[in-house]
Structure 1
């Protein structure tokens, strides 16, 4: 063999080199897309918050809205947003988790249950205005209670129920079967296994689902407009379930489209900043217990 001759490259080495280059290229693409998406989200949040947060005053958060004069607040709408959110979560979380646990642990594997799962997945993607029309049919036409906080909260609970059901079912199914079998081997009943093994292990996924539906419910407007109206009772702390229940998201839409106050644009900027900030705060508050629990177990 001459000194100038080069050793032949085997097909295995060629494929290995191509696989490494493909892996590096795919990694660069994924990193680039991920960084661009994060930068876009951060820029969007910064744009919304920097326009509204510097102008915020305490009087704006607890003040009453104004129809004509400038300087109105969002107090009743902000209170209604939290009030409707809490009521809807109190209804949807127990029902959604129970339905998800049933589908994951107790439901038989037959065509009917498969059809039920398809229906749940379909309802999870139905536009929110459909649930608003359902709320009108139930509370406004059938029960004749009018546009109320109760109708808005229950309609929001129906909106969130399919998502919570699917999230809970998938989170329970993601728990390793070895943990479930080990609990049975130690003599635990099915109910004890669900309470002390499956739910604690799946809690991270369940909390994620609750964060998603809570943020969606807090910022929902179509359902509230159709079932709770676009006005409030005019009181800051009105706990009546049969009062009109316009929320912050509805007020933001109303200010941008219907209001005649001269500072409508400024009110909209501040209301949008408050809305985004509260949604972020809800996610932090729901995840804080998980973060503290993870630090304790380390």
Structure 2
């Protein structure tokens, strides 16, 4: 009787897993099929046209990648640092309870609320205006709670069995964390980075109020972090691909709005897939280099 129940449960779990995979494959296939006609070099790397057909998504694509890099520069160190503190240094008490309550509260915040907070604090009070740095900080607030929880759980799981051994061999606590625990926890931490990256690629509501909806022409000969004419300026408005898709569908000013939206959606999905696979491969290489596995 128990064996029969076990087989039934196993079959049900396999069916659920297969359904999830088929749902994802169907979703990705639908978007790629709808947008494949627009996947040309002139569309992917070209400048947008706001009053006529035939424009591209080059600036928005660059803005999405650049925003990803800037946001991860803030999110990853803060998330790993908070995870290390909660897993290895924090002691039970009111302070820890307050931190965990804050993390849980931040995780439940709607992105539109974070966007309005970024508008008030980063755009208006800090006087940065609609800028890439304001958008990056707003997305960091959205991602910080999930990144912290993933890092904390990864560090706790990795420290079992190796922490005492490392300390027993004479290593300090920080040496143990840096040289033993973090390399072992790297695959799970990388999962948190990938989840955060997906949020960065796909977020629109928070970025409308912080990064803005303007796409500057790309002039890569001008390299500056403050000159708004430079693609690398942190102070310029930076319309991402997700925001552009929303704008094209909501305004309806382009004669080929449907083609642009479908093509941009297909590019966005491909970006996420390529980044996920690349991050997995890179994370595996880093893990192998630390653990000596080949």
TM superposition score normalised by structure 2: 0.91
| In structure 1, distance between residues paired with 2:69 and 2:119 | 21
Pick from 251, 254, 259: which aligns with 2:252?
Answer: 259
Match in the other structure for 1:216:
199
Residue 294 (structure 1) shift: 5.2
Higher Cα Rg, which structure? 1
Q: CA deviation at 1:40?
A: 1.1
2:64 aligns to what? 81
- In the alignment, the residues of structure 2 paired with residue 176 and residue 244 of structure 1 have an alpha-carbon distance, to the nearest angstrom, of 43
Equivalent in the alignment of 2:269: 276
- 1:138 deviation in Å? 0.9
Structure 2, unaligned runs of 5 or more? 221-230
Is it true that 1:249 corresponds to 2:249 in the alignment? no
Quote the Cα distance in structure 2 between the aligned partners of 1:62 and 1:175. 43
Q: Is the aligned partner of 1:297 residue 2:293?
A: yes
What is the root-mean-square deviation in Å for CA atoms of aligned residues? Answer: 1.6
- Cα distance per residue 1:88-133 (max 9 Å; x no partner): 1001111111111011101111132022112212212321112111
Deviations 1:175-194 (A, max 9, x none): 25221000011100001100
Deviation >3 Å, runs of 4+: 234-237, 290-296
1:239 CA drift (Å):
1.6
| Alignment equivalent of 2:23, drawn from 40, 61, 74 | 40
Most deviating of 233-242 and 110-119: 233-242
Aligned residue in 2 for 1:101: 84
**Counterpart position of 1:127:** 110
| Distance verdict in 2 for CA 1:236–1:277, change over 3 Å | farther
Partner Cα distance (1:279, 1:125) in 2 = 24
3-state SS in 2 of match to 1:29: helix
Aligned length in residues = 281
1:226 is matched with 209
Would you say the 8 A contact 1:121–1:166 is kept in 2? no
Gaps of 5+ in 1: 1-17
Which of residues 120, 144, 147 is equivalent to 2:127? 144
CA distance in 2, matches of 1:149, 1:162: 21
Partner of 2:95: 112
Is 1:162 aligned with 2:108?
no
Query: What is the aligned counterpart of 1:200 among 180, 183, 186?
Result: 183
Deviations, residues 199-232 of structure 1 (Å, cap 9, x unaligned): 0111111000000001111111011101011112
Q: TM-score, normalised by structure 1?
A: 0.90
Give the stretch that moved more between structures: 73-82 or 282-291. Answer: 282-291
Q: Per-residue deviation at 1:82?
A: 0.9
